[in-house]
A and B are shown apart, each in its own frame.
Chain A
Amino acid sequence: MRQVYLDHQSATPVLPEVLEAMQPFFAQAYGNPSSLHRHGLLARDALDKARAKMAAFINAESPEEIIFTSDGTESSNLAIQGAAAAYARDGNHIVISATEHPAVIASVQLLEARGFACTRVPVDAAGAVDPAGVRSAFTDKTILVAVHHVNHEIGAIEPVREIGAAARERGIAFYVDAEAGAGWLPVDARDWGASLLSFSPHRFYGPKGVGVLYQNRRARLAAILRGGGQENGRRAGVENVPAIVGAGVAAEIAGRELAQRAAHCARLQRRLWDGLRARVPRLKLNGPEPGPGRHPATLNLSAEFIEGEAQLLLCDMHGIAVASGSSCVSRSRQVSHVLAAIGLDPALARGNIIMSLGRDNTGEDVDYVIETFPKIVSKLRALSPAWEGQPG
Chain B
Amino acid sequence: MQISRAGEYGVLGLINLPAFYNATVLDHFLNPRNVGDVPEPEAIGLAGEPNCGDAMRLSLRIQNGKILDARFRTVGCGAAIASSSMATELIKGRSVEQARQFSNQEIVAALGGLPPAKIQCSVLAGQALRAALEDYEKRHPGAAAPRTECAPQKPAPRRRRQG
Which secondary structure dominates chain A's binding surface?
loop
Given the contacts A333-B53, A350-B52, A350-B53, A383 and B74 also touching, CB distance less than 8 Å: yes
Closest-by-CB residue of A relative to B73 is: A385
Chain A hits for B57, CB < 8 A: 385
Given the contacts A331-B123, A333-B54, A347-B52, A310 and B1 also touching, CB distance less than 8 Å: no
Q: Is B63 an interface residue (CB 8 A)?
A: no
- B residues 78-117 near A (Cβ < 8 Å) are 78, 80-81, 117
Which secondary structure dominates chain B's binding surface?
mixed
Q: Is B65 an interface residue (CB 8 A)?
A: no
Chain A hits for B1, CB < 8 A: 16, 19-20, 23
Chain A hits for B54, CB < 8 A: 307, 328, 333
B78 touches A386 (CB 8 A): no
Mark A residues whose CB is within 8 Å of B.
3, 16, 19-20, 23, 305-310, 313-314, 317, 328-333, 345-347, 349-350, 380, 382-388
Q: How far is the CA of A284 from the CA of B81 in the complex (A)?
A: 23
When the two chains form the complex, which single residue of A305, A314, A330 contacts B75, counting CB atoms closer than 8 Å? Answer: A305
Q: How far is the CA of A349 from the CA of B52 in the complex (A)?
A: 8
A385 touches B75 (CB 8 A): yes
Query: Separation in Å of the A334 CB from the closest CB of chain B?
Result: 10
Q: How far is the CA of A383 from the CA of B20 in the complex (A)?
A: 22
Q: 23 interchain pairs (CB within 8 A)?
A: A3-B14, A307-B75, A307-B76, A309-B77, A310-B29, A310-B77, A310-B78, A313-B29, A313-B78, A328-B118, A331-B123, A333-B49, A345-B52, A346-B51, A346-B53, A349-B52, A350-B75, A383-B73, A383-B74, A383-B75, A385-B57, A385-B74, A388-B73
Closest-by-CB residue of B relative to A319 is: B14
Q: Is B35 an interface residue (CB 8 A)?
A: yes
Q: Is B121 an interface residue (CB 8 A)?
A: yes
B73 touches A333 (CB 8 A): no
A386 touches B76 (CB 8 A): no
When the two chains form the complex, which single residue of B30, B32, B77, B120 contacts A307, counting CB atoms closer than 8 Å? Answer: B77
Chain B hits for A386, CB < 8 A: 50-51, 55, 75
Residue from A307, A317, A382 having most chain B Cβ neighbours under 10 A: A307
Closest-by-CB residue of B relative to A330 is: B120
Q: How far is the CA of A19 from the CA of B2 in the complex (A)?
A: 10
